[in-house]
Amino acid sequence: MRSSAKTLPLELHDVSLTAGGKRVIKDLSCRFTALAGCSVIIGPNGAGKSLLLKLCHGLITPDRGTVRWAGGADPGLRGKHQAMVLQRPVLLRRSVWANVAFALKSKKLPAAERGRRVDEALAQAGLSRYAQRPARLLSFGEQQRLALARAWVTRPELLLLDEPSANLDPAATHVIEEIIKEAAVQGTKVIMTTHDLHQARRLADEVLFLHRGRLKEQAPAAQFFAGPENDLAQAFLRGELLWWRRRSIYDPDEGRPDS
Ligand SMILES: Nc1ncnc2c1ncn2[C@@H]1O[C@H](COP(=O)(O)OP(=O)(O)OP(=O)(O)O)[C@@H](O)[C@H]1O
Ligand SMILES: [Mg+2]
């Protein structure tokens, strides 16, 4: 753990969020610490995984409950120490190189050092040969790698990744996972979502299982994958959780009016 933590622990207490007249995050409490390693959020489509990451990054604020970073709720401090890659990354209308360089703008580095870091980040993401290409001409998978390079180059204390390899081929997925592992080695806390349970097994130190806006289980990865306590999580791992069914036989919360 870094000695001067500015963002961790990250704590959500009784957080609820309404969108489109529907409660989409429900009474959610959890705590993220550097000691717990890489935290992987899993759950069916629409469970609230992306919303949870956005709450953690302060991109949205809850209707009820609190989000606190290192014991405080100061948005100014937070921005400098954490970075997020959205499920659909938004890139600047500039070159690939300039997109990464821009992320370092606030760091006030000498130009040569800034250039070295950008080159290194692009090499690590396998994008060196596209450096001078307009970022918007990259394929979707390449854009995803660029978005991760741009976030990681700032060496944040906390890195939030929403399905970082959803559109990537196996080699590119490997590149992404190597960056995530290096982040962990360098003391960056990673909180990410994935639909790839194999990836979750490879990367997770702890797992959070979300279902219809509720956090059903947060457990060390080894314990979770050996057999989760929650019935819905068990069904999800077996591939039996049917998100399109209005009422699930597994979920006691389903009868509630806001479910
Ligand atoms: N701005 C919004 N207005 C209305 N509903 C929203 C809004 N944002 C999200 N939702 C709803 O909240 C629920 C959770 O959305 P979220 O994007 O967090 O799901 P997810 O778990 O990330 O799903 P996926 O696996 O498909 O990425 C969904 O039912 C979604 O339709
Ligand atoms: Mg999502």
| Token output for 134 | 């307009």
Q: How far apart are CA 194 and CA 42, in angstroms?
A: 6
Which ligand 1 atom is nearest residue 213's CA?
14
Residues having CB within 6 Å of any atom of ligand 1? 19-20, 24, 43, 45-51, 87
pLDDT at 256 (0 to 100): 54
Query: Which pLDDT tens digit goes with each residue over 212-222?
Result: 999 999 999 99
**Residue 259 confidence (pLDDT) above 50:** no
Among 28, 20, 98, 90, which residue's Cα sits nearest to residue 56? 28
pLDDT at 135 (0 to 100): 98
Q: Where are the domains of the chain?
A: 10-250
Q: Using a CB cutoff of 5 Å, list residues around ligand 2, an ion.
A: 49-50, 87
Q: What average pLDDT does range 225-247 have in this prediction? A: 84
* Architecture of domain 10-250 in this structure: 3-Layer(aba) Sandwich (3.40)
Work out the burial of residue 49: count CB atoms within 10 Å of its CB; fewer than 13 is exposed, 13-18 middle, 19 or more buried: buried
Best substitution site from 16, 42, 49, 258 to test ligand 1's pocket, by max atoms within 8 Å of Cβ? Answer: 49
User: How far, rounded to the nearest angstrom, does the alpha carbon of residue 10 sit from its chain's CA centroid?
Assistant: 13
CA of 61 to the centre of ligand 1 (A): 15
Q: What average pLDDT does range 54-81 have in this prediction? A: 84
CA of 167 to the centre of ligand 1 (A): 19
**Residue 242 confidence (pLDDT) above 70:** no
Q: What is the mean pLDDT of the chain?
A: 90
CA of 111 to the centre of ligand 2 (A): 37
Among 51, 86, 59, which residue's Cα sits nearest to residue 166? 86
Best substitution site from 28, 50, 52, 163 to test ligand 1's pocket, by max atoms within 8 Å of Cβ? Answer: 50
CA of 103 to the centre of ligand 2 (A): 24
pLDDT at 32 (0 to 100): 96
Query: Which pLDDT tens digit goes with each residue over 155-168?
Result: 999 999 999 999 89
Cβ atoms within 10 Å of 189's Cβ, excluding its own: 27
Which ligand 1 atom is nearest residue 210's CA?
21
Query: Which pLDDT tens digit goes with each residue over 86-123?
Result: 989 999 999 999 999 999 998 889 999 999 999 999 99
**Residue 136 confidence (pLDDT) above 80:** yes
**Residue 2 confidence (pLDDT) above 60:** no
One DSSP character per residue, 147-212 reads: HHHHHHTT--SEEEEESTTTT--HHHHHHHHHHHHHHHHTT-EEEEE-S-HHHHHHH-SEEEEEET
pLDDT at 73 (0 to 100): 77
Grade residue 246 by pLDDT with cuts at 50, 70 and 90: low
**Residue type at 76 in one-letter notation:** G
Whose alpha carbon is nearest atom 27 of ligand 1? 45
CA of 210 to the centre of ligand 1 (A): 12
| Token output for 115 | 């250039």
CA of 86 to the centre of ligand 2 (A): 9
pLDDT at 50 (0 to 100): 97
pLDDT at 200 (0 to 100): 98
pLDDT at 36 (0 to 100): 82
C-alpha Rg value of the chain to the nearest Å: 19
Phi, psi of 154 (to 5 degrees): -80, -5
Which ligand 1 atom is nearest residue 44's CA?
25
**Residue 79 confidence (pLDDT) above 70:** no
First to last CA, the chain: 38
Q: What average pLDDT does range 204-210 have in this prediction? A: 98
Grade residue 257 by pLDDT with cuts at 50, 70 and 90: very low
CA of 80 to the centre of ligand 1 (A): 27
